[in-house]
Amino acid sequence: MICIETQHFHLNRILLLAIGLWPYQISKFVRLQIILFSGILTSFVIFQLTALITTECTPEFIIKVFSTAMFFSIYVIKYNSFWVNAHNVKYLLEQLQDICNQLKDKNEIAIIEKYGNNAKYFTTISIVMCGAFIAILLPIWPHILDTDLHINESQPRQRVQIVTEYFVNQEKYFYLILLHKNAVICIGATTLTGTGTMLVGYIICACGMFKIASYRIEQAMTSQVLKNINLENQTMIYKEIIDAVDIHRKAIKFCEFLSSTFQGSFFLLIIIGVISLSLNIYGIFQNISLDNKEAFLLHLLFVSVILLYMFVANYAGQEITNHNNHVYSITYNSRWYNAPLQAQKLILFILLNGSRTYNLNIGGVIVASLECFATLTKASMSYFTVMYSMQQ
């Protein structure tokens, strides 16, 4: 018997437990933890924007503030979207477990285990990459968090990369402010990794469901079975096709429920991601000319994270489309015309569904695919070009 939670999502469970977003056993302490962490992330974005009140708002300064504030607002959206949709996250995990419990064929179990292991490997790689990003950030950490100002008072303040305004004496409350900034980085990085890998893990398992549908069609339409159409084989064909139609329908419903649950936050993330990507690309080119290595590395890190996140999300959506098309291809290319008439009628359910390309759709506007990734990247580059040309 497959246990989805312990075998394939245990790393996700650890990450989400650390930030209070695991949807099981939500105690009063966990609710307090959620409120605290959400407040920490939200307040950091606010304290960056308040710098616009106390500082002269030149175009360069506005872009500098928004390039970091928009990136950290992604943390806020991801955290709160999982908090609000905790019940649906739990429901999706239970649906996966129910589907695994219904599998009897050892080959079908092997398929879902293979895709579950892929989800686990993806989570492991994501954790390693997150650690690598933090390691890259460590050398420039004092400049980013303003700690260098307390080591060397001659360091100019404009070199500080993340500008904030707490409306307090920053010398007196230096360690509290430093704690706040470090907490934001730790909570935010865990949030992006934990929630992102959880969603991708769901999509990978959905791909496994489509693969099982293809396998069941192949088993029903084997040449050996079709050569000898007796009562026993007819019954087997009906059962296999009915099971294939059933798991194919469940896979589509699973994906639709996933996209509908997070479509609001996904849509908002796309808008903020494109804007943040444009601003940080501008920051890269601006700081190259200013020879500000710390700012250059910071903006490069932000651009890398956003591009990676966009690519993975759209690639996962593309895999859903490809796996659904594979079900249609397997069905269409099989010898379905040699099957009994009643079986042919059942096959029409898959052929009719497969004739229309299925995509992960967000609000009826955006389709998750590699083409969408290219479009979003081009849009970000276009906005960057406009900003850069205006500043010349």
User: What is the average pLDDT across 37-53?
Assistant: 94
Name the nearest CA neighbour of 233 among 339, 347, 336: 339
Instruction: Please write the tens of the pLDDT for every residue from 304-359.
Output: 999 999 999 999 999 999 998 888 888 777 776 666 676 777 777 777 766 667 78
Per-domain boundaries in the chain: 4-391
User: What is the average pLDDT across 164-180?
Assistant: 87
Judge whether 370 and 314 are in contact, CB under 8 Å. Answer: yes
C-alpha separations of 11 from 22, 119, 211, 311 in Å: 11, 10, 24, 22
Q: Give the separation between CA 219 and CA 171, rounded to whole angstroms.
A: 72
C-alpha separations of 345 from 213, 243, 244, 350, 383 in Å: 17, 14, 13, 10, 52
pLDDT the model gives residue 158: 45
Instruction: Please write the tens of the pLDDT for every residue from 200-210.
Output: 999 999 999 99
